[in-house]
Structure 1
Amino acid sequence: MRRTFTWLPWVLLIIVIIGFIAWQQYQKPKAPVAPDGVKMPAEKVEPLIDTSRTGGVVSYSAAVKVAAPAVVNIFTTQKVKQLDHPLMNDPAFREFFGNQLPEQLNPEQNENSLGSGVIVRPDGYILTNNHVISQADQIIVALQDGRRAAAKIIGTDPDTDLAVIKIELDKLPVLPFKLSGNEVGDVVLAIGNPFGVGQTVTQGIISATGRSDLGINTYEDFIQTDAAINPGNSGGALIDVAGNLIGVNTAIFSQSGGSLGIGFAIPAKICQQVLNSILKDGRVVRGWLGISLMPIQQENIIEPKQAGVVVADVLKNGPAAQAGLLKGDKITQVNEEKITSAAHLINYVALQAPNSTVKIQVERAGKPLTLDVVVGERKVQNSDSQYIPLPQR
């Protein structure tokens, strides 16, 4: 009797374990079975994206540590004469002083503005926006490590709103250009000095690429981002998650002056072209045809958009006029490049060397025609804009 009670607990334990295993098997979902009783294979679900590509990134601090030291704050001063004292317009008052006004009634004040810049060469060359430094009498650059230096203007390019300045300091951090491979949906970081509060990093994605016809600059091929960009970010860096420079922040679309998630950056490819041209020639040399353009008008908006652009006007004695291009001609192709928009044509011709010859294919009165045009050199022009080029504080 005593032996029975010795092994009975073990028997009960084994029974409980077997019952638990059987219950677990009963709870598992069964594979679908065909009507004829044949067992069907379980459905295999493939992931929509390769999650190993992101590596499970939860922090961008490594990219910021690489890039932030190369992003600088720019302080500019501009001498402003105050001529709004009411006595200055009084003829008797001016006659009393012999039209030589007292200095205290005609003071000079320094007006500070704040912007950003990116160190792109170890010998001190910095890219920023032209509108940040265009009216400056003095430019001071402040680095993240606390150093400050006066900067001189090397060259400007109002047509892209870029400028190159230089400081004389050693052991400078540099941001490398990333010229291609940037896609919509990629995570980006904007680094700058918004509202003068100090260096700030914001995060977003690339919302679009190749934005043009916005009326911001003469030459437009912008990266659009929803990373928060505000006044003071002008000239700052737009980087990828590896810390590479993919663009220079230049404008926002806003009705209030603050960020609405629509910001624009000049791509690194254009930045590098402007930098190299300024360092080589002291200015940016671009090709020019001497025409104004308009898009093709389509009555049926359902049909696909037609390629090409229509010549709205031809400058007298300009390169296009000398080659026989006429108002109303439809330009469809230049050399081997099929033209899709006015911005496309302007950007393509700008890359052609002055005095080189291009073949322009046009449609005139429904008939094809090819013209040889000797490219001229474009003069610097400014354009008005309804967009905000990140005004300074």
Structure 2
Amino acid sequence: MRPLPRQASEWRLFPAVLLALALLFAQVSGALARGTPESFADLAEKVSPAVVNITTTTTVATATGPQFDGGPIVPEGSPFEDFFRDFMERNRPGDAPRRPRRSSALGSGFVISEDGFIVTNNHVIAEADEIMIEFYSGNELPATLVGTDPNTDLALLKVESDKPLAFVPWGNSDAARVGDWVMAMGNPLGQGFSVSAGIVSARGRALSGSYDDFIQTDAAINRGNSGGPLFNLDGEVIGVNTAILSPNGGSIGIGFAMSSRVATNVINQLKEFGETRRGWLGVRIQDVTDDVANAIGLEQVRGALVTDVPEGPALDAGVKAGDVIMTFDGVDVEDTRALVQQVGNADVGKSVRMKVFRDGKTETLMVTLGRRETAEGAVPAAQPGGAPAPDADVLGMTIAVVTPEIAAEMDLGADAGGLLVKEVAEDSEAFEKGLRAGDIITQAGQADVATTADLSARIEDAKEAGRSSILLLVRRSGEPRFVALSVQ
């Protein structure tokens, strides 16, 4: 038989190729159209044995007498609970004795190792006398507290079991994208082992802490969910459910889970040391703004501007007030929050390279980190003093040299120096940017100022350098901050 020409044989295969492409397109289209998992049932069944309910018991003092009968007037958790508590406290006779009673609270948690380590929120177990863990199987075990970190509201518990426990692994929260599906599980309003699902609504949320890195989700989270896990679709914990934003105390679709990126580091330290051991740089910092960048000649509006360098690792490394920290340990610093987290996650005693912007160029410094927990009370270094000089009106402010008499009157310290802001015109840029009478200007143009003439000279220097603004280091009640004011 004569073989078909090459082109004819290829043509015969064409319908099969079209069919394969059609099937592939149908599968992709179906997946895109579906958009959601067919069910969360398999995932819930897989992780449920490692999720726990937590009940805590605390001894509290209550008053006796006709106003207090030893039992709650309204159900615990009721919207009227706080109102009645305040009302009864105001009307309690001053001499009414108090008696102890037992108070219970509910929360959630999850097992992270077969030998019984359990993660939850610090506020779930704070001040608890007893902690009881209920497992999905119905078994109960008492727990002991290993350690807590109020800064991230995390806590680590331990139970003793005669057999290995089911546990769930940590996942990579940095890989979670806005729009990804997530599942929360816990003990909302005492309804244990309840599952809810939603998506990642936002990333990198900060509520109130320096180390915050919250995942925002619309998966239903209510009271009692605190400390429970937020899972990705692989059954990995990418967040610890911690808080909700709500005007009524119930879920309105805005919940927050501390990211596993933060949680794993904290929990590992609690497991190893029973406490956190965060790196400490020893600087006070503020964000770089457009006008600050312009005032110091910084092309990029990023980094952390150093406002003060007390005794500590940074001072030993040669860091100066006015430096902008651009990189830390090889990682770019976007803002103050990023630097705080980078330093806090670094090992105590580690020597790291740090690139700073100073006097129009970058320098690399080596700094050996201290430990934040033992340095919280560090006292800022005293500022250099200066000689008396006449008052002057500059940049919308009336200023005077800080004399020993002024320093004593304002309790600034014997070595205090700089320029006292006596008045600020309300129609001035200085007033608009928050300067007020009583502020102390210690630097201008990143150089110390001891007299009004020093300040005037720094302003002229800025003009000659083509700057449209000058950077002032201002102290109020000992707290420093930089303010950029126009000089043109």
The aligned residue for residue 295 of structure 1 is: 287
- 1:177 paired with 2:157, answer no
1:55 Cα shift? Answer: 8.8
Distance in 1 (CA, whole Å) between partners of 2:54 and 2:374 is 25
**Residues 185, 49 of structure 1: alpha-carbon distance in 2 compared, 3 angstrom cutoff:** farther
Match of 2:40 among 57, 60, 66: 60
Aligned with residue 308 of structure 2, among 306, 313, 326: 313
Give how far 1:143 is off: 1.2
The 5-angstrom pairing of residues 342-353 of structure 1 reads: 342-353=336-347
Aligned residue identity for 1:64: A
Tell me if structure 1 keeps the 8 A contact 2:110–2:118: yes
Distance 2:165 2:92 in 1: 52
Distance in 2, matches of 1:361 and 1:299, equals 22
Which shows bigger deviation, 352-361 or 145-154? 352-361
Which residue of the other structure, out of 241, 247, 253, is the alignment partner of 1:255? 247
Structure 1 residues 337 and 171 mapped into 2: Cα distance closer, same or farther (>3 Å)? closer
Partner of 2:335: 341
Give the match's secondary structure for 1:107: strand
Per the normalisation by structure 1, the TM-score is 0.73
2:124 aligned with 1:132: yes
Is contact 2:200–2:215 with CA below 8 Å preserved after alignment? yes
Counterpart of 1:153 in structure 2 is: 145
Aligned to 1:193: 187
SS in structure 2 at match of 1:63: helix
From the superposition, tell whether residues 52 and 331 of structure 1 become closer, same or farther in structure 2 (CA, over 3 Å): same
Q: Which runs of 5+ in 1 are unaligned?
A: 1-45, 91-100, 383-393
| Secondary structure, counterpart of 1:195 in structure 2 | helix
Whole-angstrom distance in 2 between the partners of 1:202 and 1:357: 45
Letter aligned with residue 191 of structure 1? M
Give the AA of the match of 1:173: A
Contact residue 286 and residue 354 of structure 1 kept, 8 A? yes
Q: CA separation of 1:48/1:307 partners in 2, compared to 1, >3 Å: closer, same or farther?
A: farther
SS in 2 for 1:379: helix
The equivalent position to 1:206 in structure 2, one of 176, 187, 200, is 200
Per-residue Cα deviation, 1:294-331 (whole angstroms, up to 9, x for no partner): 2112259xxx98221212333x2122233232333211
Deviation per CA, 1:65-97, whole angstroms, max 9, x where unpaired?
A: 11122111111111111257689745xxxxxxx
1:120 CA displacement: 0.9
1:277 to 269, 287, 310: 269
| Residues 1:242 and 1:79: Cα distance change in structure 2 (over 3 Å) | same
The match for 2:214 is 222
* 3-state secondary structure, aligned to 2:290: coil
Q: Structure 2 vs 1, CA of residues 151 and 185 (structure 1 numbering), >3 Å: closer, same or farther?
A: same
| TM-score normalised by structure 2 residue count | 0.60
Superposed CA deviations along residues 152-181 of structure 1, whole A, max 9, x for unmatched, are: 001112222111101122342211222253
How far apart in 1 are the matches of 2:155 and 2:94? 39
CA contact (8 A) 1:159 1:381 kept: no
Structure 1 residue 186: deviation in Å? 1.1
1:193 counterpart letter in structure 2? N
SS in 2 for 1:347: helix
Deviation larger for 153-162 or 264-273: 264-273
Q: Which runs of 5+ in 2 are unaligned?
A: 1-24, 66-90, 293-298, 377-488
Is 1:371 the counterpart of 2:351? The answer is: no
Q: Which residue of structure 1 lines up, in the alignment, with residue 57 of structure 2?
A: 77
* Letter in structure 1 aligned against 2:43: A
Distance 2:247 2:283 in 1: 32
Question: How far, CA to CA, are the matches of 1:361 and 1:258 in structure 2?
Answer: 46
The 3-state SS of whatever aligns with 2:373 is coil
- C-alpha spacing 1:166/1:347, structure 2 compared with 1 (3 Å): same
Identity of aligned residues (%): 40
2:343 aligns to what SS in structure 1? Answer: helix
- Look up the SS of the partner of 2:189 in the other structure: helix
Counterparts in 2 of 1:77-96, with a 5 A limit? 77-83=57-63, 89-90=94-95
Aligned counterpart, 1:331: 325
Alpha-carbon distance change, 226 to 49 in structure 1, aligned in 2, over 3 angstroms: farther
Shift of 1:345: 0.9
Specify which of 238, 252, 259 is matched with residue 246 of structure 1.
Answer: 238
Q: Which moved more, 1:63-72 or 1:236-245?
A: 236-245
For 2:358 and 2:164, the matched residues in 1 are separated by: 60
Amino acid at match of 1:190: A
**What is the RMSD computed on CA atoms of the aligned residues?**
3.0
Separation in 1, partners of 2:375, 2:325? 23
Query: Number of matched residues?
Result: 319
| Secondary structure at the counterpart of residue 249 of structure 1 | strand
Aligned to 1:322: 316
